Amino acid sequence: MKTARIAVPDLVSNSYFPAIAAITLDCFKQEGLHAVHELIFPNYKAYEALRDGKIDFVAAPAHAALLAFPEWSGAKMLVALSQGMFWLLVMRSDLEATPGDVGAVKGRTIGAAPLVSLGLQQMLIESGIDLERDAVRIVGVPGANEPGVSFGVVAAEALERGKLDGFWANAMGAENAVRSGVGKVVLDVRRGVGPAFAFHYTMPVLVTSDRSIERDPGMIAAGVRAIVGAQRALKADVSLATKVGRALFPPQEAALIADVVERDLPYYDPVISEEAVVGMSRFARAAGLMQGSVSYEQVVATQFRDLWIN
């Protein structure tokens, strides 16, 4: 049985969950592949490993691929793990900030991971926030680079200790902060809380290299089918998320993951639309990640898209 190597930049989270679920729930095995995951943080390092032939797939935010594959040269998106920009802005619960209030960041220190921060930064700029004038500091979070650590979970802990005024991270970190009472969700673009124009900035995707497609298209097709199978299995029985969490997460996060995934299920659509590619390209140019324009076919491995619905 062939081995498929999958890099994820954040394991203990909902961000790339269909990919790790596809491993734990044996969706890859059903497609004839022995799949293993490797935690590689930050996200662009995962894409560098793909570029260098050290892994076969990356489950990560789409826009981060551009640091290893400029102008999308040499890489293709295969399938959406879920739809839309999937990070949330959580602020300390004692601050005056209401849901949808972009201005809540003024004068505040916000924690965000490398490249993930670009989504928040561009959304603020397009909303009329001047980071310097409005004294918005977007910073890293100490300890987030440690092996096996979830950025969102560490950010929630930093919020509780008063080291941050807010953080921009995945819904697992948000869940920890909200349930403990130290944080509240202020922006969640996916669910309409915040600027709608930011929805297609990026999305969690499964990506491979052109070289891998040429070398073993059968393995790549099997990987796409495995992801679609995991999405369908979780939609049919969300309690399977707890099974995955118990296998891979610390106890607290394992207990939370089914609730977090259940809210994500409406976005578990494998289709990568042309609208999404246009939105991601616009964002990438605005954020300085890309200079030119790319066609849908340059970005998406269209030879596998029939597998999204079969």
Q: Name the DSSP class of 308.
A: G
Q: Is 8 helix (H, G, I), strand (E, B) or coil?
A: strand
Same fold, 2-84+202-308 and 88-198: yes
DSSP state letters, 143-196: TTTSTT--HHHHHHHHHHTTS-SEEEE-HHHHHHHHHHTSEEEEEBGGGTBS-G
Domain 88-198 has CATH 3.30.470.10: no
The first and second tokens of residue 56, run together, are 């076969």
The topology under which CATH files domain 2-84+202-308 is D-Maltodextrin-Binding Protein; domain 2 (3.40.190)
Please check whether residue 43 is in contact with residue 116, taking contact to mean a CB–CB distance below 8 angstroms: yes
**What was the pLDDT predicted at 51?**
98
Residue in the block written with tokens 């954020």? 287
Q: What is the pLDDT of residue 46?
A: 97
Please give the model's pTM, rounded to 2 decimal places. Answer: 0.96
| C-alpha span between 151 and 9 (Å, rounded) | 9
Token readout for 4 is 């498929």
Cβ partners under 8 Å of residue 128, min gap 6? none
Q: Which amino acid, 231?
A: Q
- Hey, where are the domains in the chain? 2-84+202-308, 88-198
175 CA to centre of own chain = 16
- SS3 state at 269: coil
pLDDT digit string (tens) for the chain, length 310 residues: 899 999 999 898 999 999 999 999 999 999 999 999 999 988 999 999 999 999 999 999 999 999 999 999 999 999 999 999 999 999 999 999 999 999 999 999 999 988 999 999 999 999 999 999 999 999 988 777 776 667 777 888 889 888 999 999 999 889 989 998 999 999 999 999 999 999 999 999 999 999 999 999 999 999 999 999 999 999 999 999 999 999 999 998 999 999 999 999 999 999 999 999 999 999 999 999 999 999 999 999 999 999 999 6
Query: What pLDDT shows up at residue 209?
Result: 98
Burial call 41-77: b when 16+ CB within 10 Å, e when fewer: bbbbbbbbbbbeeebbbbbbbbbbbbbbbeebeebbb
